[in-house]
Structure 1
């Protein structure tokens, strides 16, 4: 089972690798397109594209298989990741570029958002047919992508410096690394994952239950114990119910997942209101200089990875109302960070690092729990559809949180 777990970690990293490449290259974009606020434009192009694509994916869910969506997503990523290096080679001269270069770059960002909407829900939906440890693997992979890019940024900042040549080399390295990850994901989705014994077993089990010809499945729980699945109630371990041949009704599944969906919206509303905007722009250190913000982003990403890995050890929050309460409790971070930034905008890096670490840990922990508890009690194709619905809820939270970041700027005035 280790091979299947590792595959879903890599696939989780792959769906966010292109996005991380674009947002990590903001220093390069600021140099090439001065005064154009490319950091905000990248977000404005990416997140609405993701949300709109997820809406279409949910509405026409039954038309395309999850494997086809993964291949389209990762194959498309591998093509669009060439955009920035090609634009750089064709248009950028002495850190200056014409407007058409910016338009092409933003078009690539928009396309990447569309492909994220195509691929991410498919990967999570595929993982949801398997025991909970595989949804946790996907979740940890998304966090690992952030850690990888943060480490790359530290490495390139130390090795290449902040000169124009250094920024250019760093940016090319971000996109080459992301290209390598998405290309590997395409290979895994096309040739490896469909043939893994664990995946084949649970897929066959799902088909048997959809036709009513299977026996009650047994599932490996998060801690590795073999448990008999129950009758599909909310707090049980069953993701598949026998005799479910009808197509999934997205409105019905949305109602079933309402607690988890609301929870995910709350999680990412809070997180995106604070991170990366406040961490990257609103706190400073006279001793650490611009290294301070780079290191804080790394601390957050490491915390996020740790939080998303915790349920593999601690087990999950099975009660969905309790999970919603955990998500709602994170709103306390908004006044805490506001007070901290107002009091210590230019000092106390230890306190700020601790706050950022806890923010990342809590974000990862509740996200991983939401992904793992959602498929329990669903029937047949509803399991696959749940992946798209969860990613859509996450994207709505990102959209609201991005708007919250602008409100933060108004509050500081």
Structure 2
């Protein structure tokens, strides 16, 4: 936590952060010149922001519903290996986190600019549910270490990449002054997805 606090304060000194803070200040000053944003106008602006980014938000929500319904509960409790024994869930957890980091970092190399594809890919991740179910109750070949590990890596990779893509694209759909609000709405929907996914995870037990 101390490291996070230090880095948070250091981040504001970075040139890229100063650049976007200056742009935000300029946009805010222009807004003030046009008139004070009253409560009614602010609510209207908020509804407009939500309307513009709703599909991005649904994409983020479904990403984390799928992810949390599988990880970490399914991986740590439901799959077993006679060869790896107690190391199996540890290796699966490590694989997921490594590929999640790789996915988040990939946007620095290639950013998917097509929002429809990104949102569609988020909903396509629902296929992970029957695939992981097959690894639990399907043919013997699907219940081995290799398919489960590959699916876990793919789960982490798509989670990291699509989360970053949607978080980058959503604020760009609104005015610069409202970009921060759009980001807050996206994070709120992400947290809702985490909560729903945690509840859905219990169905593996049922």
Q: Structure 1 length as normaliser, TM-score? A: 0.45
Where does residue 331 of structure 1 map in the other structure? 126
CA gap of 1:203–1:363, structure 2 versus 1, over 3 A, is: same
Structure 2 counterparts to residues 25-40 of structure 1, below 5 A: none
SS at match of 1:313: coil
Q: 1:199-251 CA distances to partner (integer Å, 9 max, x unpaired)?
A: 222211221133339xxxxxxxxxxxxxxxxxxxxxxxxxxxx9697457332
- Of 299, 304, 316, which aligns to 2:95? 299
Where does residue 320 of structure 1 map in the other structure? 115
Show structure 2 runs of 5+ residues with no match.
Answer: none
SS at match of 2:175: coil
- Of 3, 10, 15, which aligns to 1:197? 15
CA gap of 1:380–1:207, structure 2 versus 1, over 3 A, is: same
Distance in 2, Cα, partners of 1:309 & 1:270: 21
CA gap of 1:346–1:378, structure 2 versus 1, over 3 A, is: closer
Determine if the alignment matches structure 1 residue 391 to structure 2 residue 203.
no
CA gap of 1:289–1:312, structure 2 versus 1, over 3 A, is: same
Determine if the alignment matches structure 1 residue 206 to structure 2 residue 24.
yes
8 Å Cα contact 1:245-1:380 kept in structure 2: no
Where does residue 266 of structure 1 map in the other structure? 62
Structure 1 position 337, deviation (Å)? 0.6
Structure 1 position 194, deviation (Å)? 2.6
Q: Structure 2 length as normaliser, TM-score? A: 0.87
- Of 78, 84, 97, which aligns to 1:288? 84
Structure 1 position 390, deviation (Å)? 1.1
Q: 1:309-339 CA distances to partner (integer Å, 9 max, x unpaired)?
A: 11211222x3333222111111111111101
Structure 1 position 354, deviation (Å)? 0.7
CA gap of 1:311–1:346, structure 2 versus 1, over 3 A, is: closer
CA gap of 1:355–1:244, structure 2 versus 1, over 3 A, is: farther
Show structure 1 runs of 5+ residues with no match.
Answer: 1-181, 214-241
Distance in 1, Cα, partners of 2:164 & 2:178: 19
Structure 2 counterparts to residues 104-123 of structure 1, below 5 A: none
8 Å Cα contact 2:102-2:160 kept in structure 1: yes
8 Å Cα contact 1:282-1:345 kept in structure 2: no
Distance in 2, Cα, partners of 1:296 & 1:252: 42
CA gap of 1:339–1:333, structure 2 versus 1, over 3 A, is: same
Work out which structure has the larger RCO, using CA pairs closer than 8 Å and 6 or more positions apart in sequence.
2
Size of the aligned set, in residue pairs, is: 199
Structure 1 position 386, deviation (Å)? 1.8
CA gap of 1:244–1:283, structure 2 versus 1, over 3 A, is: farther
Distance in 1, Cα, partners of 2:114 & 2:188: 22
CA gap of 1:408–1:258, structure 2 versus 1, over 3 A, is: same
